[in-house]
Structure 1
Amino acid sequence: MAVPSLLATAAFLLVLKANMIMGAPYCGPVILASDFDLVQVALNLEFLEAEFYLIGANGEGLDTIAPNLAQGGPPPIGARKANLDDTARRIIQEFGFEEVGHIRAISSRIGGFPRPQLNLSSQSFATMFDQAVGFPLVPPFDPYANTINYLLASYLIPYVGLVGYVGTIPSLVTYNARSLVASLLGVEAGQDAVIRTLLYDRANETVLPYNLTVAEFTVQLSNLKNRLAGCGNKDEGLIVPPELGAENRTTSNILSANSDSLSYARNAYEIFRIIYGTGNEHQPGGFLPRGGNGNIAKGLLITA
């Protein structure tokens, strides 16, 4: 299965490279990659979420809780236990254990790979937040400092996985892959909804010591993800103008969705542009400083 998968992916990457030369990021569906390759893209995000949540809540990650799933991959850089209130800690802890199950499910049913190098340091998040607001925050944003900071940092992650799964399903061929992704999608959507609801409850609260509210941060973070992905508006903050609200009648935006209240979709290349923080699927950085694992991610590095 791996050989034809690599050939199909390589052919499609040539098209992507041509698009990049012409300055146009690819925004369509991935149609030539195998189910194996497409689902493995998501495994990079599952590792990211697992380590961020487990270490944030418990102070220890996969190397302690499920070392076999890391498959010898390097430990994450800079992650540490967050200063969370008890409710947030219990929720994030549950999310972390859910991600352990996701890694196991993908690895056992599709095929896994070693944990990629992750950069979950305060500096990595601070860089993303500076990009989002358009100026250096003083002091630099620290996701581990308190509950509200950690929830805002979490706002960056599960939604990317959610729209990635939505974008993957139409390109999947086999029932087993579709069934697995649909099941993973349900939990990712639930995690994102919980995080957005917790933040919405504090939407008008100023995030100290910055002169920005929670809602303003979410708008800026969503705008950043849209800019990095380069394929239009597929991410929205917690407060939106009525024309972006449900049936053009709400300014609350607990669930980010399109004009028919359907989930937005992103392809694998949009996902890497966001997670790398570079806006370029060929240029690693951000949360995956050495790039992602799997045939698609590795192929993108080769064609850079």
Structure 2
Amino acid sequence: MQFAVNLEFLEAEYFLWASYGFGLDVVAPNLPMSGPPPIGARKANLDQLTNNIIMEFANQEVGYLRWHSQTPSTDRRWTNDQVTDRSSCPWIDAPKAQLQSQLTVDQHEPSIDPRSLNSTVGVFPRPLLDLSAKNFAKIFDDALGHKLVPPFDPYRDSLSYMLSCYVIPYVGLVGYVGTNPNINGYETKRLLAGLLGVESGQDVVIRMYLYERATKLVPPYQYTVADFTSRIS
């Protein structure tokens, strides 16, 4: 399950930086527990639709990390200088004035017991994450079987970013499904089921987004979206 926590950190940082232009150290500074900030993450060049989708993913990941890191005695009331209105995301700890213009997603509490993570794998600091474009370029070079010129850059545009997102929940889904038979204990299986539900929901959105654009060329390459997804899968 440590893999699951690491993946949640990775997704939270990747989605936050791409859509908001900053990460957990701004929106929920207690969650990283002094873990090192990610390397190479930056704001992606996203259109409004794609940016809104990734914002929702980001808020969802922050919500799950925050709730799973709480203990039963944690006070969940929000102070006046935090985001508290229903038009904003209640998982964000940054001052309201800083985020009010950007946060628009109505986020509900996860259904999983917030004690789950503490009682299974424990809470640990954010690991060092390298979200540099060069790492994604290596993945896509391997998928295509040769070096792309120019190197693949997930931050270049909306289509490139969503193709990079196709990789992440896919890895999570395969990993969680494969892990389930080897897990003993109701609480851990319950936590895994909740995480699997989140990953599945995100994967559906990403797949539908790409399916609608399957025949579209991915600039600056002569490959379509379908060419990329078939090789990644």
State TM-score, norm by structure 1: 0.59
The aligned amino acid for 1:130 is: D
Residue of structure 1 equivalent to 2:103: none
Residue of structure 1 equivalent to 2:32: 70
C-alpha distance in 2, partners of 1:41/1:209?
A: 34
Residue of structure 1 equivalent to 2:136: 125
**Aligned mate of 1:99, from 51, 54, 61:** 61
- Cα distance per residue 1:31-52 (max 9 Å; x no partner): xxxxxxxx22211111111100
Q: Return the structure number with greater helix share.
A: 1
Residue of structure 1 equivalent to 2:231: 220
Q: What is the 5 A alignment of 1:131-210?
A: 131-210=142-221
Q: Which runs of 5+ in 2 are unaligned?
A: 71-115
The aligned amino acid for 1:87 is: L
When the two chains are superposed, the root-mean-square deviation of aligned CA atoms in Å is: 1.2
C-alpha distance in 2, partners of 1:163/1:129?
A: 19
Cα distance, 1:171 vs. partner?
2.4
State TM-score, norm by structure 2: 0.76
Cα distance, 1:102 vs. partner?
2.4
C-alpha distance in 1, partners of 2:46/2:184?
A: 42
C-alpha distance in 2, partners of 1:51/1:102?
A: 13
- Cα distance per residue 1:95-134 (max 9 Å; x no partner): 0111112223443432121111111111111111111111
4+ aligned runs moved over 6 Å, structure 1: none
C-alpha distance in 2, partners of 1:137/1:190?
A: 30
The aligned amino acid for 2:8 is: E
C-alpha distance in 1, partners of 2:140/2:225?
A: 13
Q: What is the 5 A alignment of 1:55-66?
A: 55-66=17-28
C-alpha distance in 1, partners of 2:147/2:189?
A: 42
Identity rate, percent: 58
Do the aligned partners of 1:161 and 1:188 also contact (CA within 8 Å) in 2? yes
Do the aligned partners of 1:107 and 1:113 also contact (CA within 8 Å) in 2? no
The aligned amino acid for 1:79 is: A
Q: Which runs of 5+ in 1 are unaligned?
A: 1-38, 223-304
C-alpha distance in 1, partners of 2:61/2:175?
A: 16
Residue of structure 2 equivalent to 1:241: none
Residue of structure 2 equivalent to 1:86: 48
Partner SS state of residue 68, structure 1: coil
